[in-house]
């Protein structure tokens, strides 16, 4: 999906729910959110949540969560990089919508190129990722949206994106 996906989490976000949230591009969590992969507590390893969780929090912490089944708080999830923002209880949807509105005010073309590249380059060797980025920036810098963005910056106005 080329558009950023934002999860708004509260209460218990466990097992497949934890994996689904981790698979989103960003998470806004209420301060009461709990993240957990408790499968081992019933004799089942949370295999599918493991994939996005490992890519969000790193191998060691993901493995700890998976083999212990212990819950982590929203505050700890934010420290680990699983959650982008922790907000007061009941404000998670409002803040997620605000974040989505902020993102949607930007060039769709820019994040349409950038989001897939972000994930693709994360799995590449460093030098290959740099070459790929060089090629993409050359391509992207010739777009109508880039031209409009630069003109708007110089004219001190809000861009009017052509690819909205």
CA-to-CA separations, 88 to 17, 20, 82, 92, 128, in angstroms, rounded: 21, 22, 17, 7, 42
pLDDT at 69: 97
Chain region(s) in the chain for CATH 3.90.226.10 = 6-103
pLDDT at 164: 65
pLDDT at 163: 66
- Mention every residue, 6+ apart, whose C-beta is less than 8 A from residue 6: 24, 25, 26, 27, 28, 96, 99, 100, 103
Residue segments in the chain with a per-residue pLDDT below the cut of 70? 163-164
pTM value is: 0.88
pLDDT at 139: 87
Rounded Cα distance between 100 and 104, Å, is 6
pLDDT at 82: 97
Q: Are 99 and 73 in contact (CB under 8 A)?
A: no
Rounded Cα distance between 109 and 117, Å, is 12
**Largest Cα–Cα distance of the chain, in whole Å?**
62
pLDDT tens across 114-162, in order?
999 999 998 899 999 999 999 999 988 888 999 999 999 999 999 999 8
- CATH code that applies to domain 6-103: 3.90.226.10
**In the chain, % of residues over pLDDT 70:** 99
């Amino acid at each position: 999906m080329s558009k950023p996906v934002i999860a708004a989490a509260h209460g218990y976000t466990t097992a497949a729910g934890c994996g689904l949230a981790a698979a989103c591009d960003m998470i806004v969590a209420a301060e009461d959110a709990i993240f957990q992969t408790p499968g081992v507590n019933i004799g089942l390893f949370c295999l599918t949540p493991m994939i996005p969780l490992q890519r969000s929090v790193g191998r060691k912490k993901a493995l700890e969560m998976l083999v212990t089944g212990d819950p982590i708080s929203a505050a700890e999830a934010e420290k680990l990089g699983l959650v982008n923002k922790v907000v007061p209880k009941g404000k998670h949807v409002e803040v997620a919508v605000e974040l989505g509105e902020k993102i949607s005010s930007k060039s769709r073309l820019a994040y349409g190129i950038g989001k897939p590249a972000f994930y693709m380059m994360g799995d590449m060797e460093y030098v290959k990722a740099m070459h790929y980025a060089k090629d993409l920036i050359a391509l992207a810098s010739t777009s109508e949206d880039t031209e409009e963005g630069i003109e708007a910056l110089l004219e001190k106005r809000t861009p009017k994106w052509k690819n909205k």
